[in-house]
Structures are given as C-alpha cells and as structure tokens.
Structure 1
Amino acid sequence: MQLLTANDDLTQLTGGRPLDDISKMPSDDRRAVLCKYLVKEDPVVVQEPIAWSDEESIGRFLLLKRFLNNDESRQHLLLEARRVFYEENSFIISLSGFSRFLDDMLGDWEDAVAVEILVRDLTIKVERQDCQCGQLMEHIQRLSYFAKMPQLQKFTIEWYTPPKNVDDGLPYDWSTLSSSNSSKGTSLHSVTDDDSTYEDGGSNETLRWETSDDDIWSLDGDVHG
C-alpha cells in the first residue's frame, strides 16, 4: 500500500472541506463521507501488529485517530468513524486473534460501543490441525455467543489445512462453515469441494451443524477426527 501523508489522506476524506464542516453535516451525509473513506469492498484481513497492517481501511482509521485523538471537541467524529469502520466492513481473523479483535485493535476508548455489538460480517479462520478429537465443536461452542448478537448479518468459520512443502504433493485443502439467519432459525454447515481429494483417493467429509432451540450448537451426524 502506498504510504499516505496526513494532509493528502485527510484532504481525500474531507474533499477539501474543514473537518468541522463534516461534523456539522446531517448524520446520514456524515456517515456517507466516512463510509467512502473507511469502507472497502474486500474483507479486512486482521493481523498483528495492527500498526504495521497494510490494510488500507485500518491505515486510514489510524491516521484519522492520530489527527483527532488529542482534540476533545472532535472525539464524537472519531467515535462515529470507529462505528462506521466496524459496522460497514467485513473482517477475516484467525481464531487465536479473536479475543484481541473483540478487545478493540484500534485502541482504548471511553464510553465506546463494544466491538461485538458493532460487527456485522466476520470470518474466523481455524487451522484444521486444531480441530481434531472434537476440538472443532469446542471452538464453535466458544463462538456461539457471538453468533447470537442481533446486529450480526454473516458469521463464517473457515477451517483449513496450511499449505505444505510442494514436494509433499498434497493439495491445499480448506472448508467453510457459514451461518445464515432465516425464519427457521440459524444453521451452520460446511460442504467441501467434491473435486478435492487426497492422493489416497479418499474424499473429504461433509459436516453439518445447526442450533437447537436453546441456542446450543449441535452436530448432525458423526465426525471422525
């Protein structure tokens, strides 16, 4: 990502107008300006350390934060930008980084809405080696409370096998678990690519999950680790 100076980047945000003019805009217009500045079509891949991230949306927010953080009169604009960042972007994170993500990677805030209440679209990646011996269901149960958040529109758990040495001759295998809300409740399922097989000829298994009436993740069928 090309490095942006504070002057150049904030000019892009404001369109040459003073930040105070943006603060005085009607809320819908102000949100539209912040969305144009902070929200991208592709998911934001979250990796630590966040200050070194090459994600444009993260870099732009941190730049705006540095510019506004010491100005008490503009804190409301910064908090609104934070809300837009979390609500309107989609995110991809590792399972190991999930707790840190909910603690707010963008900094410490007073009187700010919790991240878990803002995020609408989240994908969590889990290495397949961490899903043996029933551990996958433990992970899902740990995450089930997040899936109940009323603002959540899409919640995906993606488990995968990291690529091995090319000499091993093994395919890069991954599967996706996706949750979707409907009038019939919430379901979590995975169907692997039918064409993806290991060298021994064995095909990948199809796993299915669904929520029971008491919102506890249950497993439909047997799973062999």
Structure 2
Amino acid sequence: MNRRIFSAVTGIPVVCKGSQNGMASCMIEDLYSTTDSNRKATLHQYLVQPDPVIINPLFQWDAFNPGILSGLLLLQMLARRSDALGKVIEAEARDIFYGENEFLVWWDGLYDFLHPPWSGTDHKSDIGRMVRKIVVRYDMRAMNTKLRHLSTELEHLFKLTRPRRVAVEIQGSGTAEGSDIATQAVIQDISGIVKALLDHFGDIFTIQKAIGGWVLLNATEFSCLRSYWDSPSESAREAASRSQATFEEIMQLQVERWIRGQSMRDPGLQIPTHEGGQAYLSADLGGYPESYSKG
C-alpha cells in the first residue's frame, strides 16, 4: 500500500511504501530534517482529530480512531528513540496528542489510558500533566467483569494537573434527570468521589446523564447532574419537610446524606458534611420524607 504524506521540509508530497509502520518510519525521517514550526505543524496534522479520541479497553486504540492511525504508530516508534533529537520530538508529539485532543475514555480503561504501554514508566506517568479535555463514560448496561468499582477508578482523575474540562458521563436508559433506580444507585455510589472532584477541579468539572446511543454511538439526550452536589438551601429543607421540594432539591438533600454516610464509614474521606437531618430516599426509591429537620 502506498500513501502520500506531505514533507515537513518542503511541503511536497512524499510517497511512503508498505505498511503503516513503514509510513510512520518515513514520517520520523522527515521530522528529523525540518524546522521546529514545520515539525509541530506536521505532528498536529497526524495526531489531532476534531472528534474525541475514543479509548475503550475492549478495543485497540486504532479501532475507532482511523484518522490518527499513523500518528498513534508514530508515538510508539518515537518512544523507542534514544537520541537527543528523538526525545525532543517524542515530547512534542505527546504534548500535542494529549494536549490538543479531547478523549472519551471508558471508566475501566482510565488507569491504562494514563499509563500507556509506550509511556516507558511502570508506576507513574506524566500523561496526567498533558491531558486537557477528558470525558469518562460509565455505561450502566455493560457488564462489569473486572471487579473494579467506578468510585475507585474515578480517583485516577486526580492525576490530571492542568485540565480544561473534566466530565463524568453516566450512560444508559431511564430518565435524563436520573430519577430512575439504576441511576440513583450509581449516583449514591459515586456521591463522595464526585464531591471531592468538584472541590478539586471547580467549574471545569461536571457530571451528566446520557440517554440513548449504544456502545460508541452518540447519545440522543443529555442532562447535567452537577447541581445535585450543591449544598441544599434552607428553603429546600423546609419544602422537603412539607413534601413540596422539587426533584433537584430532593437530590441535593439526598446526595448530602449519602456523602455523610460514606464519610462516616470511611473517616479518611475528607468531605464536608451538614450535621443533623433525617435520611430519606428519592421519589423513585421510596417517596418523599414525612419530615426533614436540621436537628
């Protein structure tokens, strides 16, 4: 197979013959003999795509990202370079790939994403320093065969040191606002870690529910759940005691209780709590509380 790539030196098409590995090798030779600005432009051409880079642990990276296939091979080949210029080009390539793409990562592949085979490190990675935009997807319809827990896996997000957007996406059926039992169970499980992520990342972090779509298909409806982690107002507490609270207010009170319960079970979990009050379930899980007081 022959494929044209454009020389970073002259801008003239260069024919690289053979496999994708052969094309990547040809690209490396070209990158060695060009200016810094042309080299970075070429790296951007082959390493950045307009759509999110899909990272699913069940598939190879190239399975759903054909537009940057040559770039992915280039990253792997550059990681094996030991000369000074090769190391410089590798660092530039990784900064561009991780810094200029948005990544859609399945929750159980988050650790491996931050520690790719070509990173050359066994216990820590600097990928977290480079990533700027990431969405972590949890599909409620998928079977968890790895005995991993979503709340634990989300802790890997703290390795991101300079992100511009961090999102957790709960995908599945049910209702967009998350009043269905399945979504309620997920929210309860991750209420503590989401609170910690909100405190850590601030406005750049969000959590959303996605309805429709399957596996890699786009969802048809999104709903932001971030406000459920806002501190409930006094009027919300009073409305709940009269069974007149809105669903959002109920969820704020519910999440507050779940977080407090988790922090009591795990004293090392440093999450602010609001003392007092009556535990209760949402409308889907058991109805409004008969009364709610600050205690």
Range class of TM-score, shorter chain: 0.5 to 0.7
Check whether the contact 1:144–1:217 (CA below 8 A) recurs between aligned residues.
no
Which residue of structure 2 lines up, in the alignment, with residue 150 of structure 1? 161
Aligned mates of 1:218, 1:142 — CA distance in 2? 23
What does residue range 42-191 of structure 1 map to in structure 2 within 5 Å?
A: 42-47=51-56, 48-50=58-60, 52-56=62-66, 58-65=68-75, 68=78, 71-73=81-83, 74-104=86-116, 107-109=118-120, 114-128=126-140, 139-140=150-151, 142-144=153-155, 146-147=157-158, 149-161=160-172, 185-186=202-203, 188-190=206-208
Greater Rg over alpha carbons, structure: 2
Aligned mates of 1:205, 1:45 — CA distance in 2? 21
Q: Residue deviations 1:67-100, cap 9 Å, x none? A: 6555533232123212210111000011111111
> Which structure has more helix as a fraction of its residues?
2
Aligned mates of 2:71, 2:171 — CA distance in 1? 30
Which residue of structure 2 lines up, in the alignment, with residue 133 of structure 1? none
Aligned mates of 1:173, 1:31 — CA distance in 2? 45
Aligned mates of 1:159, 1:121 — CA distance in 2? 17
Aligned mates of 1:44, 1:68 — CA distance in 2? 20
**Please, which runs of 5 or more residues in structure 1 have no aligned partner?**
131-137, 162-170, 194-203
Aligned mates of 2:272, 2:53 — CA distance in 1? 27
**Please, which runs of 5 or more residues in structure 2 have no aligned partner?**
15-29, 143-148, 179-186, 188-193, 212-222, 232-258, 260-268, 275-279, 286-295
The amino acid across from 2:74 in the alignment is L
Question: What is the aligned counterpart of 1:41 among 46, 50, 56?
Answer: 50
The amino acid across from 2:45 in the alignment is K
Q: Residue deviations 1:5-60, cap 9 Å, x none? A: 4xx34x366634832233x425xx54333223211111111134426424135412
C-alpha change, 1:103 and 1:57, in structure 2 (3 Å) is: farther
Check whether the contact 1:128–1:159 (CA below 8 A) recurs between aligned residues.
yes
> Which structure has more strand as a fraction of its residues?
1
Aligned mates of 2:153, 2:80 — CA distance in 1? 37
Check whether the contact 1:189–1:210 (CA below 8 A) recurs between aligned residues.
no
TM-score by length of 2: 0.47
Q: Residue deviations 1:171-194, cap 9 Å, x none? A: 686679999989x9446444778x
Aligned mates of 1:64, 1:153 — CA distance in 2? 26
Identity of aligned residues (%): 19
Check whether the contact 1:147–1:155 (CA below 8 A) recurs between aligned residues.
no
Q: What's the offset of the Cα at 1:151?
A: 0.7
Aligned mates of 2:76, 2:209 — CA distance in 1? 44
C-alpha change, 1:218 and 1:96, in structure 2 (3 Å) is: farther
Aligned mates of 2:224, 2:64 — CA distance in 1? 36
Aligned mates of 2:95, 2:54 — CA distance in 1? 18
Check whether the contact 1:94–1:124 (CA below 8 A) recurs between aligned residues.
yes
